[in-house]
Structure 1
C-alpha cells in the first residue's frame, strides 16, 4: 500500500491552523435536540453524511478542484462549493477553513498554481475542499490519497466535536472512526472517478440542524 504523502499528514492533521475544532457542522444542535444522544446515533448520523451528505459532496468538489486545468476553472468549482452551503454557518465553516488553509499553505508550501488561485480569488472566500484540491494538485499529490485523508479528517473532526459535547467518550469515538473507515474508503474511491455532475446531497436532517444551530441559545461551536 502506498503511504500517504507527508504534506497530507500535516495539512489534514488536527494541529494544522484551519480552526476545524471550532465547528460542529450542526452536530451541536443535533445533540442539544436529542437527535444524537449516544454512539449508535452518532455513527448513523456520520454514515449518512458520508453516503448522502456534505462529506460526499465535499469529496466530489475536492476532486473537481484537483482536476481543474487552470485557476479560472478551480475558481468556478470554488464558487459552486460556496453556493451549495445550505446555511449561513455552513458557508462560514467552509470559507473560514478554506481561507485559513490557503493562508498557511501558501507561505509554507509555495507553488505557482496555489498563488495563481489566490490571485484569481482576489478578495473572495475559498471553500475548504477547493483549497485542498488545488493545493494537492499543485504539489502533484495523487487524488485518491488526498480524498482518503480529507474524508477521514472530516469524520474525525466531527467525532472529536461529539466527545466535547458529551454523548460519547474517547473509546467510543475511536470505535466509531474504525467502523466508518470502510465507507470512507469506498467514498474516496468513488469520488476519485466522479465528475462535478455527481455533486449533490440528501441529508436534510444535517442541513436543518445547521440552520437551527444559528439561533441555539447556548453553544460551544461556530456551526
Structure 2
C-alpha cells in the first residue's frame, strides 16, 4: 500500500487531514469511521429518489430494488460518483487541484434534490473530518460527497480500489436501509441484497479505478425522473 506522509491539501481554504504518521490499520480505521452510518453526514435522510419510485410502484419488493440498485451502480449516478471519486483520489495524491473535478461533479447533479444530497453531504463530511486534523469544525464551502471522501482517502494512505469499494458499499447500504423501511422489507431481505451486490460493487470499484472523467455518463433516466418528481411529492419521509 502506498503511503502519504506529511501531506495537507488546500481545498477552498480548508486544510484537510495533515498526516504525520501512517499505518495500514490507521487508514482502515479512519475509512470505517468516515463511512459508518453513525458518521454525521446525514446520509440516512436521503433516498436518492427511491422514495418516489416506491410511491409509484416501480420498487415494490426485493427483486425490483435489486434491479434498481444494479442500474444505478453500473449505469447511473453511483457509477458517476465512483468515477468522480477515482479522479479526485488521483488528483489529491499528486497534490493537484481538485476544484475542477468538484465543479464538474456539482454540475452533474440532475435535479435540485440530487444537488442538495451530494453537496450537503460533502460539506458535512469536510466539517466532521476536521477532528482528525486538530482543527475546530466550522463552516466550509460545499463540495460533492464523493470528491470530499476521495480527497480524505488519498491523504490518509487509503488505496484507491479499497476506498472506492467502501464508498460504494456505504452508498448502497444506505439506500437499502431506506427501502427496508419504505417498501417495507424485512432486515433479512436487506442483508440478502448486500450479499448479492458484493461482487458487483467490487467489479465497479475495479472498473472505476481504471476510469477517467471521459467515462462519466448515465443511462438511468428513470431514476433522475423519480428524483425530480420527489420534489413535489405530497407526503414524504426523506429529503431526496
Tell me, yes or no, if the aligned pair for 1:62 and 1:129 is still in contact at 8 Å. yes
Shift of 1:127: 0.5
Q: Does 1:36 align with 2:59?
A: yes
Shift of 1:124: 3.6
Tell me, yes or no, if the aligned pair for 1:111 and 1:139 is still in contact at 8 Å. no
How far apart are the structure 2 equivalents of 1:18 and 1:124? 15
How far apart are the structure 2 equivalents of 1:164 and 1:6? 29
Q: Does 1:170 align with 2:194?
A: no
Shift of 1:123: 6.0
Q: Does 1:12 align with 2:29?
A: no
How far apart are the structure 2 equivalents of 1:155 and 1:14? 12
Tell me, yes or no, if the aligned pair for 2:123 and 2:140 is still in contact at 8 Å. no
How far apart are the structure 2 equivalents of 1:217 and 1:71? 45
Tell me, yes or no, if the aligned pair for 1:24 and 1:221 is still in contact at 8 Å. yes
Deviations 1:125-151 (A, max 9, x none): 110000001111111211111001001
Runs ≥4 in structure 1, deviation > 3 angstroms? Answer: none
Deviations 1:35-90 (A, max 9, x none): 10111000000000011011111000001111113453x11111111100000000
Of 117, 138, 145, 1:128 maps to 145
**1:219 aligns to what SS in structure 2?**
coil
Q: Does 1:97 align with 2:121?
A: yes
Q: Normalising to structure 1: TM-score of the pair?
A: 0.91
Q: Normalising to structure 2: TM-score of the pair?
A: 0.84
Shift of 1:176: 0.8
How far apart are the structure 2 equivalents of 1:197 and 1:11? 28
* Alignment partner, residue 167 of structure 2: 150
* Alignment partner, residue 85 of structure 2: 62
Tell me, yes or no, if the aligned pair for 2:123 and 2:141 is still in contact at 8 Å. no
**1:109 aligns to what SS in structure 2?**
helix
- Higher helix proportion (structure 1 or 2): 1
For structure 1, the residue ranges without an aligned partner over 5 or more in a row are 113-117
Higher mean displacement: 26-35 or 133-142? 133-142
Equivalent residue pairs, number: 213
Larger radius of gyration: 2
CA RMSD of aligned residues (A): 2.0
How far apart are the structure 2 equivalents of 1:167 and 1:44? 16
* Alignment partner, residue 194 of structure 1: 211
For structure 2, the residue ranges without an aligned partner over 5 or more in a row are 1-23
Tell me, yes or no, if the aligned pair for 1:39 and 1:167 is still in contact at 8 Å. no
**1:86 aligns to what SS in structure 2?**
coil
